């Protein structure tokens, strides 16, 4: 992929995830508290595949672009590419080890501690993806400067 295109696709996918994670943090996860006990697990079981359909495409594109940037970004952007990759690894590890177990619990039963833990630990992803958004924007600066 041509470097300019790669940087633009990377920024678009990353910023899509920044917007999604802020929506999840501020709107979606807090609304879990309003789902009644009866029907909660059915609601959560329906919620997860729908949410996955929305987040998986930009996550996959972001992941692939991040890998490509490690090898194809111009030399001056390599520190940003590696920092962005480290942040993405942090976000994915948080997802696998903190948020996924909470969702697993909530698929079986409504659990107030799991709900609180989900909302609290999701700040790690929110901050990580926001930082990635800043890095993706910084990586575009040379394009704006015409160099």
Average pLDDT, the chain: 96
CA dihedral 86, 57, 76, 134 (to 10 degrees): -70
Q: What is the pLDDT of residues 18-64, one digit of tens each?
A: 999 999 999 999 999 999 999 999 999 999 999 999 999 999 999 99
What count of residues does the chain have?
147
Distance CA 70, CA 72 (A): 6
Provide the pLDDT confidence category of residue 146 given band limits of 50, 70 and 90: confident
Kindly indicate the confidence band of residue 147, based on its pLDDT and cuts at 50, 70 and 90.
Answer: low
Q: How confident is the model at residue 144 (pLDDT cuts 50, 70, 90)?
A: confident
């Amino acid at each position: 992929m041509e470097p300019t295109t790669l940087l633009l696709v990377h920024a678009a996918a990353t910023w899509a995830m920044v917007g999604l994670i802020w929506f999840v943090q501020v709107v979606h996860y807090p609304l879990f508290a309003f789902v009644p006990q009866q029907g909660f697990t059915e609601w959560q079981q329906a919620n997860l595949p729908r949410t996955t359909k929305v987040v998986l495409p930009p996550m996959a594109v972001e992941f692939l672009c991040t890998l490509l940037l490690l090898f194809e970004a111009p030399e001056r952007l390599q520190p940003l590419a590696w920092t962005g990759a480290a942040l993405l690894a942090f976000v994915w590890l948080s997802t696998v080890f903190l948020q996924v177990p909470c969702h697993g619990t909530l698929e079986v039963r409504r659990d107030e501690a799991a709900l609180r833990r989900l909302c609290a630990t999701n700040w790690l992803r929110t901050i990580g993806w926001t930082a990635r958004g800043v890095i993706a924007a910084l990586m575009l600066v040379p394009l704006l400067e015409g160099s």
